[in-house]
Each structure stands twice: as structure tokens, then as C-alpha cells.
Amino acid sequence: MDVLKVLIIGLGSIGKKHVNALMQLEQRFEIYALRSSNSAAEYPNVTNIFSLDTLTTAPDFFIVSNPTSLHSKTIKTLIDFGKPIFIEKPSVMYLHEGQRIAEELAEKNLTTYVACNLRFLEVLKFTKTYLQEKNLRINEVNIYGGSYMPDWRPQQNFREIYSANKEMGGGIHLDFIHEIDYLYWFFGTPKQKYSILRSRSSLKISAVDYANYIFLYEKFTASVILNYYRKDRKRYCEIVCDEGTLFIEIEKGKVYFNQNLIFTTQQTILDTYSAQMKYFINCIIQKNKPMNDFSESVEVLKMCLNDE
């Protein structure tokens, strides 16, 4: 089995999750990380580099996991290498950036994948298949994601992390773009969208801490509510049909229909990182186009962002 060479740009908490995911696969990797400082700490199985000019040969693929505000510049820098790019969500910070980069990537015919790992969550995969097989008449979809951001990195001042800062690409609508992504994955592009994005909670941060969306589909209406300030973390999806109601507890791994348990799994969200990486590596090796490539991620951004 050939060793694949990978370069990671951005070795923060999410970048380290991607390294750990790579190390769980049977495929062998030679992993490099582009660091911004010579004093950057070492990480197991990763070789630090400090300039792209030090690369003697191009890697087999790149992973972009630096702050969202840097994605646009980073991706543009990588395009000329002509290699596959794995991009942490959201793909970019602004819609106009995304549309322009999508055109450049299409011209180069580059393989890209934007990492919305909840697509690999078994409860959501089960739900998508169940909806297709049962052909239920849907009237309403309600999606909710609430989490307490100060608990995410308790060793750090939460107001200093990128999620809390608008200028760095933070915001609950971008951190929890997963909820909008799986709505798109289930049902496609809505006919119309209405949204409220606010920063008025007691967290006192510049980034959006509350987002409320209404999406109008041809036969039903979908609501998505997201926030950064809920201490009793909760993520669920409710699909109200003529035949009854599907209720998906995202993080508990359970799906109910009319309050009867119809699916359960021990898989956690953390488990999806290795499944996602395995999928992407297989796409590279087999030369398949991944789902949720950059152009598809722009369609999700259109649902997520107000025009900017």
C-alpha cells in the first residue's frame, strides 16, 4: 500500500481531530502541518513545516482546517498545486468568495470535499433512507441545535476563540452549519428563505449567537433554530408527517416514530471523523467525485448566510 503524503493547514483542535482520524485508517500517511510560528508545539505523527516553499514534492492532498476567515486565501494558494483539497466547514466566510472560488476550482477540475461530518452519523443516514423508503408525506420539519460555547474549551477565555469573533469567521450559524447541511442533504434547495441572525445574548460576543431560519419547500416548511448559550446541550430533528412524527435525537443516537424507538446506535459524533476521512481517501484513490464538494457547499452557504 503506497504511503500518501498530506499537508494540513491549521493544526488547532479540529486539525488534530483530522490527524487522529487519519491514524485510525489502514492506509499509511506521511503527515505535515504548515505552522505559523517556529515555536509551534509538536504533535504526534506530524512533521511541522513553516513555508510551502520547503515542500520538495507536492502532497497527495491538502487539509484546510485553519480559521474560516483564512479559508479563501488558503484555498486560492493551493489551487495551483492541482491536488485534492479537504476543507473544514464552512468552506468560506462570505458567499461572494465562495462563488468566485467555485468557478476557479471548476476550471481546474480539482477534487474537493467540505467536511460536514454529520452526514456520516448513523441516525441521520438511517433517517434519510427511512424517508426515501417510506415515502412519507411531510408537513413540517423542525431542527434545533443549542450548546454552551464557554464549555467548549474551558481552559481558554471563550471570548478569544474564533467562534466568538465575527471577524474570524465565528458564529453559531457557521459552527452549526451541519444542521442546515443535513436539511439540504435530506431535501435539497428550498424555494425561499427567511432568517434572523443576532448577537444579543448574555455571552456578549461579536459573532452571531442566535440564528433562526424558515425554509419554504414546495410541500412543507422547515425551521432551524441555533444558539451558543444553552447550558443543557440539545440537538434534535423533528419531521411531522401525515402518518406520524419522526424524532431524531442527534447526540443520543436514537430515532423515534410516534414515540416508538425504531433505531438506536452507540456511534458518537466523534466517531464520524474517521468514517468521513475514509470516505474522502477512497474518493481520491478511486478517482470518484465526493459528495458535498466545494460547489455544493456554496449551495448550503446560500441557505446559511444573508447575502454578503
Element (H, E) at 280: helix 272-286
Contacts of residue 188, defined as CB under 8 A and 6 or more positions apart, other chains included, come to: none
Phi, psi of 105 (to 5 degrees): -65, -40
Tens digit of each residue's pLDDT (9 = 90 or more) over 40-82: 889 999 999 999 988 888 999 999 999 999 999 999 999 999 9
Per the document, the length of the chain is 308
**Residue ranges of the domains in the chain?**
4-117+273-293, 122-266
Claim: this prediction has a pTM higher than 0.85: yes
Which of 184, 158, 153 lies closest to 89, judged by CA? 184
Tens digit of each residue's pLDDT (9 = 90 or more) over 190-214: 999 999 999 999 999 999 999 999 9
Alpha helices in 38-165 (DSSP H): 71-79, 95-108, 122-134
Confidence band (pLDDT; 50, 70, 90) for 307? low
Kindly report the CATH number that applies to the domain delimited by 122-266. 3.30.360.10
Q: What are 207's three cell numbers?
A: 459573532
Which of 265, 220, 279 lies closest to 127, judged by CA? 265
Confidence band (pLDDT; 50, 70, 90) for 36? confident
Q: What percent of the chain has pLDDT over 70?
A: 99
Helix-helix angle 272-286:13-23, to 10 degrees: 70
Phi, psi of 73 (to 5 degrees): -65, -40
The helix/strand/coil state of 25 is coil
Give residue 1's pLDDT. Answer: 66
Contact 41, 27 (CB under 8 A): no
Pick the CATH number of 4-117+273-293 from 3.40.190.10, 3.40.50.300, 3.40.50.720, 3.30.70.1560: 3.40.50.720
**Mean pLDDT across the stretch 154-173?**
94
Contact 189, 303 (CB under 8 A): yes
Give residue 55's pLDDT. Answer: 87
